[in-house]
Amino acid sequence: MPTHVYFDLDGTLTDPFEGITKCILYALDKLGFARPSDEFLYSCIGPPLYDTFPALVGDELTLEAIDLYRERFDEIGWLENEPYDGIHDALATVADSGCVLYVATSKPRIAADRIVEHFEMGQYFEKVFGCELDGTRANKVDLLAYAIEENPVASSRIMIGDRKHDLIGAIANGIRPLGVSYGYGSVEELTGAGATGIADSPSELPELIDL
């Protein structure tokens, strides 16, 4: 039985900062809200939009803000993304080792599929797991539980991500939690969330997985 390796998308496979922040600012501008601090925008990379927007616009306007965010994201925001240097080689090495690779992201599955294929990473992944447009399974605990239900047979499982949400979801589902420090979570955040190992660059991922 192979090892199943789940990769987060934003901050782990690609750098989405430009697209995500511009889409957040687009939604805020449409709703008449001021620009948040750069520090807050930085913190928005990783968590689900359903967790991000209440702090910016309140609960009542969150769904409208998400619709506006997606309005720009679907047109151009998804293209304002950049794969991290060395990530293709790392994925090829992990896939060639016999592991089965998956994407597990809080992004809507439709958007994540499009990004993975556009940036020529689809060949490495068995399936992309993401939330539904209504927010179902946006939480990594729920998402990874669903992924295991869909693919129950594995010798072991690993989750790789750059934020605490990835690791919390992994631990809750009995998955080995690994972090990457080149994304948007600090080493302190990752270790505090229970990471058993941290890669400082994509090139370190195969060794971190113990291939």
pLDDT tens-digit map of 83-124: 999 999 999 999 999 999 999 999 999 999 999 999 999 999
Instruction: Quote the number of domains for the chain.
Output: 2
The reply to whether 115 and 195 lie within a common domain is yes
The reply to whether 101 and 195 lie within a common domain is yes
Q: What is the CATH number of the domain that holds 199?
A: 3.40.50.1000
Range of the domain at 53: 17-79
> Which of 63, 79, 95 is the endpoint of a domain?
79
The reply to whether 21 and 121 lie within a common domain is no
pLDDT tens-digit series, residues 119-130:
999 999 999 999
* 67 labelled catalytic: no
The reply to whether 68 and 134 lie within a common domain is no
Cα–Cα distance measured from residue 159 to residue 170, given in angstroms and rounded to the nearest whole number: 6
Q: What is the CATH number of the domain that holds 24?
A: 1.10.150.240
What are the structure tokens assigned to 14, written together? Answer: 């690609």
The reply to whether 130 and 188 lie within a common domain is yes
Q: For residue 182, which phi and psi values (nearest 5 degrees)?
A: -85, -5
pLDDT tens-digit series, residues 179-198:
999 999 999 999 999 999 99
User: How much is the average pLDDT of 50-78?
Assistant: 95
Q: Cα-atom radius of gyration of the chain, to the nearest Å? A: 16
> Which of 43, 64, 79 is the endpoint of a domain?
79
Q: Of residues 8, 10, 15, 166, which has the active-site annotation? A: 8
Residue 211 has pLDDT above 70, yes or no: no
What are the structure tokens assigned to 7, written together? Answer: 């990769």
The reply to whether 73 and 94 lie within a common domain is no
The CB density around residue 112, as the number of other CB atoms within 10 Å, is 22
Residue at 11: amino acid letter = G
pLDDT of residue 204: 97
The reply to whether 40 and 91 lie within a common domain is no
